[in-house]
């Protein structure tokens, strides 16, 4: 049986190798452990091995887990699709939201975010125009970036992408990185330093994502093993 510590060691080796061969600093790539369908106890075990950031897709499951674990030092990332009637609890319970793809959702998150915190958000981009997944088209990104960047409680940090099965990750992630560079110009100069995040890369393609410039990789299977 493979243990969590063994999987983590293999994963860290993959990340280190990719960073080294692409002249990227190890500290510039944040690992997010995607813990959907994994038990709270397993997440606690991962946190004891040094994982600080966790990603969850399903709200009810996530809320229960965050509460059970009760560790305020952990950083929680919402990476699932967002229903507009759930924005309040998302804004209250998470530190980051990766899956913002329309203005209405961003406005609600900003309005409902507790006044003592700033919510980090990423715009999810549907780079391959796959109708089966969320995300804004590349063409619509610039308008949305300029609108969202004006919302008071949100800190717009960059882009998130999930690639379709039939998109070559080498090409797909380069396209996202290129868009990320171009969009910086749509922000007012004082907001540009916040535009520092590219969330892309999962178990099967994290190498290509790191090569293209990912600053956050979202890894489930390679860390926790297969999901139930
Ligand atoms: C499940 C999921 C992941 C992790 O996928 P793995 O292939 O298990 O690494 C990453 N990002 C999102 C948005 C997910 O839903």
169-183 and 141-148 helices, crossing angle to 10°: 50
Ligand 1 binding pocket includes 200 (Cβ within 6 Å):
no
Which residue(s) pair with 124 in the sheet?
A: 160
pLDDT at 30: 98
Distance from the CA of 220 to the center of ligand 1, in angstroms?
A: 6
Inter-residue contact 141 to 179 (CB < 8 Å): yes
Instruction: Record the tokens describing residue 27, joined without a space.
Output: 């500290």
Ligand 1 binding pocket includes 202 (Cβ within 6 Å):
yes
DSSP state of 41: H
Distance from the CA of 89 to the center of ligand 1, in angstroms?
A: 22
Please report the atom of ligand 1 found closest to the CA of residue 223: 9
pLDDT at 129: 94
Tell me how far CA of residue 92 lies from CA of 102, 106, 148, in angstroms: 19, 14, 19
Domain boundaries of the chain, sorted by first residue: 4-224
Q: What is the pLDDT along the chain (228 residues), one digit of tens a residue?
A: 789 999 999 999 999 999 999 999 999 999 999 999 999 999 999 999 999 999 999 999 999 999 999 999 999 999 999 999 999 999 999 999 999 999 999 999 999 999 999 999 999 999 999 999 999 999 999 999 999 999 999 999 999 999 999 999 999 999 999 999 999 999 999 999 999 999 999 999 999 999 999 999 999 999 999 998
Please report the atom of ligand 1 found closest to the CA of residue 203: 9
Ligand 1 binding pocket includes 79 (Cβ within 6 Å):
yes
Rounded to whole angstroms, the Cα distance separating 154 from 135 reads 18
Q: Determine if the pTM surpasses 0.85.
A: yes
Tell me how far CA of residue 109 lies from CA of 79, 106, 194, in angstroms: 14, 5, 18
Q: Which CATH number fits domain 4-224: 3.40.50.620, 3.20.20.150, 3.20.20.10, 2.60.34.10?
A: 3.20.20.10
């Amino acid at each position: 049986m493979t243990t969590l510590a063994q999987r983590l060691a293999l994963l860290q080796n993959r990340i280190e190798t990719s960073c080294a061969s692409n002249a990227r600093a190890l500290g510039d790539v944040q690992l997010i452990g995607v813990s959907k369908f994994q038990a709270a106890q397993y997440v606690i075990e991962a946190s004891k091995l040094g994982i600080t950031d966790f990603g969850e897709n399903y709200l009810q499951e996530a809320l229960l887990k965050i509460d059970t674990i009760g560790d305020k030092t952990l950083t929680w990332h919402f990476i699932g699709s967002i229903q507009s009637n759930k924005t309040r609890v998302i804004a209250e319970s998470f530190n980051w939201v990766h899956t913002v793809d329309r203005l209405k959702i961003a406005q609600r998150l900003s309005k409902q975010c507790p006044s003592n915190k700033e919510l980090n958000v990423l715009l999810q981009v549907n780079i391959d125009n796959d109708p089966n997944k969320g995300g804004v088209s590349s063409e619509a990104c610039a308008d949305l970036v300029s609108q969202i960047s004006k919302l008071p409680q949100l800190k717009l940090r960059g882009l998130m992408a999930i690639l379709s099965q039939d998109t070559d990750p080498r090409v797909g992630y380069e396209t996202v990185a290129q868009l990320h560079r171009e969009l910086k110009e749509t922000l007012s100069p004082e907001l540009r330093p916040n535009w520092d995040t590219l969330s892309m890369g999962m178990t099967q393609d994290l190498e290509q994502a790191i090569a293209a410039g990912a600053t956050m990789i979202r890894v489930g299977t390679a860390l926790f093993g297969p999901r139930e």
